[in-house]
A and B are shown apart, each in its own frame.
Chain A
Amino acid sequence: MSIFGEIIVSVLLLAAGFFGLVGSFGLVKLDQPMTRLHAPTKATTLGVGSVLIASMLYFLFFAEGITFHELMITLFLFLTAPVVAHFIAKAHLHRNWKPGDLPAPGGAKSWSVYDQADEAPADNPARDPARPGE
């Protein structure tokens, strides 16, 4: 049982290291802000998830028994990661994109980032229409 448990925990830790590394490498390698956002929201989830499962199994096999903290970390991670990604994307859209460069939402209204665009000051120095993807 103990050698079996050790193998499972080790495999999970190796997988976690691999996915964490790939996620971080993706941040460096991908060349547009929007594609770069994909690396930390996905690859890192499984990286952190594997560490947490390994930790749960370790405490189950070799220490005091079942712990819930890892489940809680997973829960909070799954709640916060999409929200943060959404806000980063929104801020990026607001500063660097124009509604005309995006597909239309289909209804009468525009995307919510641009809803009050005509009331906002027009001379936003951060917005550079010549380079929408940067």
Chain B
Amino acid sequence: MLRKVLPHPWLTLVVAVVWVMLVNVITLNAIVFGLILGIIIPLVTAAYWPERPTLRNPMMIIEYMLVVLLDIIRANIQVSLVILGKRNADLQPGWVTVPLELRSPEAITVLAGTITMTPGTVSSDLSEDGHALLVHCLDAPDPEAVVAQIKERYERRLKEIFE
């Protein structure tokens, strides 16, 4: 019964908090309307998101966000240096395949998004069976190192969070 009314309780909470932040004042009015939205939106979209993701280790999320934020800053400086400092002919762009140990769709989505936001990599496609990601590197003299870094820094932490 509760599962029918609240298919995604965390989404309800997130939508309510986002609404209050958008309104930018913490009043009862905003909180109530946020909760109404937070109940309606998961109900309407439940058909597209049938399964509830399991969070095994929610505290890891904070560590993951800090690691990713630091990497985004490093990524920006690194990409800026590549753009300003290297001639196009010296760049070694290329594709790498990242085999996935993650199986939950939410975790793979977060991983693909993280790869795009971090140093010199854009996730471009997922294999049909969902067991590998196709990643394009801006400048990768050593593709093995890129795969190892993605698996060590991000996939290991996501596996602890989601699975």
Contacts and interface: CB of A to CB of B under 8 A. Distances in A.
B122 A37 contact: yes
B interface bracket (residues with beta carbon within 8 Å of A): 35 or more
A41 B122 contact: yes
A79 B96 CA distance: 23
Interface residues of A, number: 49
A106 B112 contact: no
B13 interface: no
Contacts of B132: 105-107
B116 A67 contact: no
Contacts of B114: 82
B115 to A, nearest CB: 8
A83 B110 CA distance: 11
Interface of B: 18, 20-22, 24, 72-73, 75-76, 79-80, 83-84, 88, 91, 93, 95-97, 99, 112-117, 120, 122-129, 131-132, 134, 136, 138
Given A35-B93, A106-B127, A111-B134, 19 more contacts: A30-B91, A31-B88, A35-B136, A37-B122, A37-B136, A38-B122, A39-B83, A43-B79, A45-B117, A72-B21, A81-B117, A82-B113, A82-B115, A85-B116, A89-B124, A89-B125, A103-B96, A103-B97, A106-B97
